[in-house]
Amino acid sequence: MKMYTATNFCRLCLNKKIKVGLKLKNIPLGEKYSKVKSIAKNSFRFPLNLGWCEKCRNLQTMEIISPRLLWSDFTYLSSQTKAIVDHFKILSGNIIKKFKVKKNHLIIDIGSNDGTFLGFFKDKKCRVLGVDPAKNVVRIAKNNGINTIPEFFNLKMFFKSYVNKKTYSSKSNAIYLCI
């Protein structure tokens, strides 16, 4: 597996005029820190250069870490942080109110983690679907009753895994995507 790819263009607008303003020392992935000294000492270190797009002004890292390496085994759970849980509760209420979300409408959360956000919609009798590549957090979401696809989101996967199963069109007349 290729661990990262260095870029020379903006990831948002593809502009090639990027000013690399900050070059930091190579560092291990935050998700892969180890308390064991020998493992920590020998862990792979990634370059960390921050670039600024002159066109759209997006500030970004100039290295793209392999998504599988970064997200397939994720240790952070949304439910661990009270501020996030409180925010999700307020946000879900605002979405329901603003978009007039009704019972049985389908809410899809891409990068759904342990299903904390979707849980608030489920409480309001909405149908929910999570998508998250981290199989360990998907297990927790499923144990919490949140239907979750353990993959990276893309349209091909989505139509294959979900839309073709008839559960999509027959019961719901509205779909909302939360990313």
Q: Does 18 bind Zn ion (CB under 5 A)?
A: no
Identify the helix (H) or strand (E) that includes residue 163.
none
Q: Does 12 bind Zn ion (CB under 5 A)?
A: yes
Q: Rule CB under 5 A: which of 127-156 touch Zn ion? A: none
* Closer Cβ to Zn ion, 8 or 80, answer by number: 8
3-class DSSP state of 55: coil
Dihedral, CA atoms, 109, 112, 116, 121, nearest 10 degrees? 10
Q: Identify which of 14, 15, 174 has the alpha carbon closest to the alpha carbon of residue 96.
A: 174
Q: Rule CB under 5 A: which of 44-83 touch Zn ion? A: 53, 55-56, 58
Stretch binding Zn ion (CB under 5 A), from 13-21, 67-75, 79-87, 155-163: 13-21
Q: Which of 7, 15, 66, 136 binds Zn ion (CB under 5 A)?
A: 15
Q: Which residues contact 119 (CB under 8 A, 6 or more apart)?
A: 128, 144, 146
| Contact residues for Zn ion, defined by CB under 5 A | 10, 12-13, 15, 53, 55-56, 58
